Amino acid sequence: MPKRSDIQSILILGAGPIVIGQACEFDYSGAQACKALRAEGYRVVLVNSNPATIMTDPETADATYIEPVTWRIVERVIARERPDALLPTMGGQTALNCALDLAKHGVLERYGVELIGASREAIDKAEDRELFKQAMTRIGLASARSAIAHSLEEARQVQAGIGYPVIIRPSFTLAGSGGGIAYNEDEFLEICKRGLEASPTRELLIEESLIGWKEFEMEVVRDRKDNCIIVCAIENLDPMGVHTGDSITVAPAQTLTDKEYQIMRNASIAVLREIGVDTGGSNVQFAINPADGRMIVIEMNPRVSRSSALASKATGFPIAKIAAKLAVGYTLDELKN
């Protein structure tokens, strides 16, 4: 399937300032995407607030705006540049949240800008903890025992049914910021207050603790014809309890049996299909209990992640470059690495 000719100009959102949890790996993916799309003849407009990146170099994009990655600022850029499409999957959580805000406030519809790489529905389904859990249940995959809370009172009720220790995860935050593990009521209330403030939707996922379980990730790429490839399986040497972005990781996975790998492979592809990521790369995370082999899905990122940068370097497969080309209509069989 040839590249799309109905779009000429594409807006790419960067990851914003370097903070703990997101830094040069999103610069790597954004710069790759800009180069790949310009090579295909598209006009690329970039918004990123960090001037100390490769992607903001003058030759990377056709037009570069060193501005905050917030929906109001990006709306002004859209009004001026009038791009045909927006690619939000190269700038981490910051870019995804900004794209969702643009959609919610009617900006994309008002200026006729199409979301490519990931639809609003797919982003919502993957990032909203409750919707994601329901989606996993529909396809027969287990997830940690958990429930959603929107207030301290609701959080207390959920915790009573699960017991201690519990993990608190705010929705729509990067690298689990605002969340944590609580072993008693004081810690629980403190983390819940912090998490409710950190989540833009004031939503918390309270779930059973998986500390000590083995953690694995699958880097999956899918095209619009439903061709899927597993770029690689990544194993976290640190057990659950250390965030995957901070953990020492090894590619390929070292301690998976072939049967476990095949189960995980099939589950990863099923997750992408259910969430609705039609084009591009995604990262699916699993936990396995070493005591009894129970496997659960932790989460998935419908975007290029920190692990994607590692997978690209470890395998020589440029995930961000390929994902950008898939977003404009190519299929995997047409793209040579």
* DSSP per-residue letters across 105-171: TTHHHHHTPEE-SS-HHHHHHHHSHHHHHHHHHHTT----SEEEESSHHHHHHHHHHH-SSEEEEET
Which pLDDT score is estimated for 121?
93
Q: Which CATH class is domain 211-334?
A: alpha beta
pLDDT above 70 for 22: no
**How many residues make up the chain in this entry?**
337
Q: How confident is the model at residue 285 (pLDDT cuts 50, 70, 90)?
A: very high
Question: What average pLDDT does the segment 306-314 reach?
Answer: 87
Q: How confident is the model at residue 63 (pLDDT cuts 50, 70, 90)?
A: very high
Q: In the chain, what percentage of residues exceed pLDDT 90?
A: 56
Which pLDDT score is estimated for 1?
62
- Average pLDDT of the residues of the chain: 90
Q: In the chain, what percentage of residues exceed pLDDT 70?
A: 97
pLDDT above 90 for 326: yes
Is 205 strand, coil or helix? strand
For the domain covering 9-116, report its CATH number: 3.40.50.20
- Burial track 169-181 (b if 16+ CB lie within 10 A, e otherwise): bbbbbbbbbbbbb
- Burial track 105-124 (b if 16+ CB lie within 10 A, e otherwise): eebbeebebebbbbbeebbb
Is 95 strand, coil or helix? helix
25 vs 222, which has greater pLDDT? 222
**Whole-number Cα distances in Å, 272 to 219, 253, 276:** 11, 20, 6
Contacts of 216 (CB under 8 A, 6+ apart): 233, 234, 235, 236, 253, 256, 264, 285, 286, 287, 288
Query: From CA 91, how far away is CA 86, in angstroms rounded?
Result: 12
Which pLDDT score is estimated for 146?
83
User: 146-208: what fold?
Assistant: Dna Ligase; domain 1 (3.30.1490)
Question: What average pLDDT does the segment 48-62 reach?
Answer: 89
For the chain, the structural domain boundaries read 9-116, 146-208, 211-334
Question: What average pLDDT does the segment 186-208 reach?
Answer: 89
Which pLDDT score is estimated for 20?
66
Question: What average pLDDT does the segment 148-176 reach?
Answer: 85
Largest CA distance in the chain: 58
Query: From CA 39, how far away is CA 41, in angstroms rounded?
Result: 5
Q: How confident is the model at residue 169 (pLDDT cuts 50, 70, 90)?
A: confident
Query: From CA 274, how far away is CA 269, in angstroms rounded?
Result: 9
pLDDT above 70 for 175: no
* pLDDT tens string 244-263: 767 888 989 999 989 999 99
Q: How confident is the model at residue 176 (pLDDT cuts 50, 70, 90)?
A: low
Structure tokens at 262: 């095949």
